[in-house]
């Protein structure tokens, strides 16, 4: 079918769905995005509450560096991202260890001098991976054409390619052991803390190649998005509309209609029926199975590593607490040294020079921790009071860990709103509130965009390369590529 006759419907206005939609609209397709909420962005939205604009989940803009996935996307779509580089990506704190993560690793090398060879290898691998990701990654490979493209990008020629092959099946723990670093609990904890927020698992499970690029974030650069991270989704939605597409809000898709391996339309909770030549689902495979009525079979992507949801606090705060810091993001590991479940938190606060984010003299703060969803749904099932009790306990736990490093934290809080996995399920449509993407444990057991339907593709952080803005944009390019190939075949 000619592209201008192609009717593509996208379920969900997350960054993955919007990026795919904007790329397709630019190529001439007719794009309609159906979004259940009344604003775009999903996990990377910014929402208004009581005079504040809080980042819902994501707070750090990454991939905006020259040649990075967001930078390339902006150039292609004619979007000038309103971003400013942050000199320090974030500060890591555990007891008396305070480490800034700027674009050079000097402080880290000073604290962990034996880690220098590890970082050298990481840097080389990340360089190769950024190079391979330019213009999209043909992975998981669908055939000879994809493998040929990887080869053409120079995978065989670069010296780091040997490392790529060597580490492609290794865990980070094995990589650390190779450098004799696995016996240093402070270094392992520091690495685990970074991996948990970037590849959703720790060194025992995380794949070394995935980790190499995740650990590169402070070096490749972190960026502040003016108006909050949700501005990215708003601009992408604008790019779709500018090309004649539509982004429709309050449109909750409740059913996908199909005959054999072909999807022909969707139904929304307000009774609309929408026809489609192709559908892109910006949702998890579990949620997709609910819409198609298929049985959701656990597949090879599932790993032993837990699948996390998040507990998030949105605080209105007095910014005085943060004035001496070199960054707007702090990762705090509680005294026990445990990660997740409120013992490790990621704190982000809005910039004083962005008046759109908070009432005068105050700032909007997002604090998140990884949590397993089961306990939240069990408590909700039991009774409202059991659920509220658990929620209060988590609020206190997060504030306790925050106060370990900032003793005046509690006194600076002006308002509190909390989101549990139950909230995330309701808000993003992800079953069990499984936000953050899949744990990146293997390069070879990853999910691509294809589904069991010929004209239905997945997009978002459930597909390779997984979570983060640059991650879902890279995955969106792959979904668009496969959709266009499929269209070519059927034309």
Ligand X SMILES: Cc1cc2nc3c(=O)[nH]c(=O)nc-3n(C[C@H](O)[C@H](O)[C@H](O)COP(=O)(O)OP(=O)(O)OC[C@H]3O[C@@H](n4cnc5c(N)ncnc54)[C@H](O)[C@@H]3O)c2cc1C
Instruction: Identify whether the C-beta of residue 456 lies closer than 8 Å to the C-beta of residue 263.
Output: yes
- Subset of 337-356 contacting ligand X (CB under 6 A): none
Smallest Cα–Cα separation from 139: which of 209, 55, 239?
Answer: 209
**Dihedral sign (CA 207, 435, 36, 348):** negative
Q: Which phi and psi angles does 444 have, rounded to 5°?
A: -100, -20
Nearer to ligand X, 284 or 405 (CB): 284
**125 alpha-carbon distance from chain centroid:** 21
* Region for residue 293 given its phi and psi (left: phi exceeds 0; alpha: psi -120 to 50; beta: otherwise): left
Residue 135 contacts by C-beta under 8 Å, 6 or more apart in sequence?
A: 72, 477
Residue 35, interface with ligand X (CB under 6 A)? yes
Strands 278-281 and 456-458: parallel
Residue 215, interface with ligand X (CB under 6 A)? no
| Interface with ligand X (CB under 6 A), residue from 212, 215, 390, 469 | 469
Total of residues contacting ligand X (CB under 6 A) = 39
Structure-token pair, residue 80: 């000038």
Residue 29, interface with ligand X (CB under 6 A)? no
* Gap between the Cα atoms of 115 and 108, Å rounded: 8
Nearer to ligand X, 219 or 472 (CB): 472
Stretch that binds ligand X, among 82-90, 157-165, 279-287, 335-343 (CB under 6 A): 279-287
Stretch that binds ligand X, among 6-14, 90-98, 174-182, 185-193 (CB under 6 A): 6-14
Residue 460, interface with ligand X (CB under 6 A)? yes
Instruction: Identify whether the C-beta of residue 466 lies closer than 8 Å to the C-beta of residue 445.
Output: no
Residue 111 contacts by C-beta under 8 Å, 6 or more apart in sequence?
A: 97, 99
| Interface with ligand X (CB under 6 A), residue from 101, 196, 253, 313 | 253
Nearer to ligand X, 181 or 435 (CB): 435
Nearer to ligand X, 62 or 137 (CB): 62
Residue 232, interface with ligand X (CB under 6 A)? no
Stretch that binds ligand X, among 14-22, 180-188, 257-265, 400-408 (CB under 6 A): 14-22
Strand, helix or coil for residue 206: coil
Residue 44, interface with ligand X (CB under 6 A)? yes
* Gap between the Cα atoms of 137 and 322, Å rounded: 39
Nearest distance in Å: CB 10, ligand X:
9
Stretch that binds ligand X, among 83-91, 114-122, 248-256, 355-363 (CB under 6 A): 248-256
Instruction: Identify whether the C-beta of residue 437 lies closer than 8 Å to the C-beta of residue 200.
Output: yes
| Interface with ligand X (CB under 6 A), residue from 6, 15, 188, 208 | 15
* Gap between the Cα atoms of 171 and 165, Å rounded: 13
- Subset of 170-199 contacting ligand X (CB under 6 A): none
Instruction: Identify whether the C-beta of residue 257 lies closer than 8 Å to the C-beta of residue 263.
Output: yes
Instruction: Identify whether the C-beta of residue 253 lies closer than 8 Å to the C-beta of residue 268.
Output: yes
| Interface with ligand X (CB under 6 A), residue from 46, 343, 371, 467 | 467
Residue 122, interface with ligand X (CB under 6 A)? no
* Gap between the Cα atoms of 279 and 296, Å rounded: 19
Instruction: Identify whether the C-beta of residue 112 lies closer than 8 Å to the C-beta of residue 419.
Output: no
Nearest distance in Å: CB 258, ligand X:
16
Nearer to ligand X, 124 or 221 (CB): 221
| Interface with ligand X (CB under 6 A), residue from 8, 43, 209, 443 | 43
Strand, helix or coil for residue 16: helix
Kindly write out the interface string for residues 421-450 of this chain, putting x where it contacts ligand X by CB under 6 A and - elsewhere: -------xx-----xxx-------------
* Gap between the Cα atoms of 337 and 332, Å rounded: 10
Residue 69, interface with ligand X (CB under 6 A)? no
* Region for residue 436 given its phi and psi (left: phi exceeds 0; alpha: psi -120 to 50; beta: otherwise): left
Nearer to ligand X, 423 or 442 (CB): 423
Nearer to ligand X, 212 or 472 (CB): 472
Residue 285, interface with ligand X (CB under 6 A)? no
Strand, helix or coil for residue 391: helix
Residue 17, interface with ligand X (CB under 6 A)? yes
Strand, helix or coil for residue 91: strand
Strand, helix or coil for residue 280: strand
Nearer to ligand X, 46 or 59 (CB): 59
Tally of CB atoms within 10 A around 294: 15
Kindly write out the interface string for residues 48-67 of this chain, putting x where it contacts ligand X by CB under 6 A and - elsewhere: ---------xxxx-x-----
| Interface with ligand X (CB under 6 A), residue from 161, 168, 204, 252 | 252
| Interface with ligand X (CB under 6 A), residue from 231, 258, 350, 368 | 368
Nearest distance in Å: CB 336, ligand X:
21
Residue 398, interface with ligand X (CB under 6 A)? no
Q: Which residues of the shown chain bind ligand X in the complex (CB under 6 A)? A: 11-17, 34-37, 42-44, 57-60, 62, 251-253, 282-283, 287, 310, 312, 368, 428-429, 435-437, 460-461, 467-469, 472
């Amino acid at each position: 079918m000619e592209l201008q006759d192609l009717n593509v419907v996208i379920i969900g206005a997350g960054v993955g769905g919007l990026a795919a939609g904007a790329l397709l609209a630019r190529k001439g397709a007719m794009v309609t995005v159906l979004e259940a909420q009344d604003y775009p962005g999903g996990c990377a939205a910014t929402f208004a509450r009581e005079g504040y604009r809080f980042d819902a989940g994501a707070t750090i803009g990454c991939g905006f560096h020259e040649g990075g996935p967001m930078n390339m996307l902006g150039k292609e779509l004619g979007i000038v991202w309103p971003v400013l580089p942050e000199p320090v990506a974030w500060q890591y704190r555990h007891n008396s260890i305070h480490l800034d993560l700027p674009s050079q690793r000097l402080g880290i090398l000073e604290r962990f001098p034996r880690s220098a060879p590890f970082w050298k290898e990481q840097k080389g691998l990340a360089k190769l991976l950024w190079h391979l990701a330019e213009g999209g990654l043909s992975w998981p490979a669908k055939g000879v054409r994809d493998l040929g493209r990887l080869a053409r990008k120079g995978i065989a020629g670069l010296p780091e390619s040997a490392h790529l092959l060597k580490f492609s099946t290794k865990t980070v723990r094995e990589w650390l052991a190779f450098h004799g670093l696995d016996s240093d609990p402070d270094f392992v904890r520091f690495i685990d803390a970074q991996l948990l927020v970037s590849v959703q698992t720790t060194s025992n499970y995380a794949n070394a190649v995935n980790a190499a690029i995740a650990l590169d974030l402070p070096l490749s650069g972190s960026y502040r998005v003016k108006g909050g991270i949700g501005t990215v989704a708003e601009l992408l939605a604008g790019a779709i509309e500018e090309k004649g597409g539509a982004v429709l809000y309050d449109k909750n898709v409740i059913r996908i209609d199909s005959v054999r391996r072909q999807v022909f339309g969707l139904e929304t909770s307000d009774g609309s029926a929408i026809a489609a030549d192709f559908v892109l689902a910006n949702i998890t495979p579990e949620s997709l199975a609910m819409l198609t009525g298929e049985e959701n079979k656990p597949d090879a992507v599932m790993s032993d590593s837990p699948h996390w949801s998040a507990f998030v606090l949105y605080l209105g705060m007095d910014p005085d607490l943060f004035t001496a810091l070199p960054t707007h993001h702090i990762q705090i590991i509680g005294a026990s040294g445990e990660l997740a479940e409120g013992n490790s938190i990621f704190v982000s606060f809005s910039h004083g020079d962005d008046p759109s984010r908070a009432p005068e003299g105050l700032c909007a703060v997002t604090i998140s921790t990884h949590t397993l969803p089961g306990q939240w749904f069990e408590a909700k099932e039991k009774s409202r009071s059991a659920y509220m009790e658990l929620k209060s306990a988590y609020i206190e736990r997060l504030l306790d860990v925050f106060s370990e490093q900032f003793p005046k934290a509690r006194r600076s809080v002006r308002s509190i709103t909390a989101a549990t996995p139950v909230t995330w399920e309701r808000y993003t449509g992800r079953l069990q509130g499984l936000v953050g993407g899949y744990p990146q444990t293997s390069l070879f057991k990853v999910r691509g965009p294809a589904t069991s339907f010929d004209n239905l593709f997945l997009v978002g952080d459930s597909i390779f390369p997984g979570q983060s803005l640059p991650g879902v944009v890279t995955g969106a390019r792959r979904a668009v590529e496969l959709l266009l190939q499929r269209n070519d075949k059927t034309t």
